[in-house]
Amino acid sequence: MHRSIYLAAIPAAFVAGLLASHLGTPAHAQTPETKLAPQIIDVGAMSDADVGPVVPNLGTLRSKGLVTTPSGTVAVQTGNVPKHTHTGSDEIQYVISGSGTFWLGNEQRQIHPGDLIIIPKGTVHAGAEATTGEFKVLAIKLPPQAPGDLHLVQ
């Protein structure tokens, strides 16, 4: 008898959950839904002019947003930026062009095209010295970087 009560409770709980989900506020109502357009972007062919002007007070950094969603952003970045951290976003950079050294944590590391750099939030990082042209990276920030979440480090 107890077994039949438990078996009957499963469909009842499912139906109750289904009704509750349709009566409540949809999750996407709190953040605007972002529609992505299908496209192919030749990031390797982008010139500095295509990426945009130098960002004031951030070395020679140029940045152009390519994708923005409530979950994350993707941008192409060129140039060199001083040491800094982000307290609210993890960052992943894929090196498209440029070789040299890169600050990650408290050490300089050699980087070259094809490297994937994982930068957990709070980790000091910066381009330091390019030996074969300026760095060009694809930068992914998860979640999107909030205004004011770039903190320069000496």
Tens of pLDDT, residue by residue over 36-79, are 889 999 999 999 999 999 999 898 999 999 999 999 999 999 99
* 102-134 pLDDT, tens digit each: 999 999 999 999 999 999 999 999 987 778 878
Counted domains in the chain:
1
Output the domain CATH number for residue 119: 2.60.120.10
Range of the domain at 53: 43-152
Is 123 part of a structural domain of the chain? yes
| Residue 94: predicted pLDDT | 97
Q: Give the CA angle between residues 61, 88, 114 to the nearest 5°.
A: 50
Alpha helices in 24-143 (DSSP H): 48-51
Domain membership flag for residue 133: yes
Residue 17 lies in a domain: no
pTM exceeds cut of 0.85: no
Question: 63 lies in a domain?
Answer: yes
Q: What average pLDDT is seen over the chain?
A: 81
Determine the Cα–Cα distance for residues 123 and 104; give it in Å rounded to an integer. 7
Distance CA 127, CA 56 (A): 16
Residues 3-37 have pLDDT tens digits of 444 434 433 333 333 333 333 333 333 334 567 88
pLDDT at 34: 64
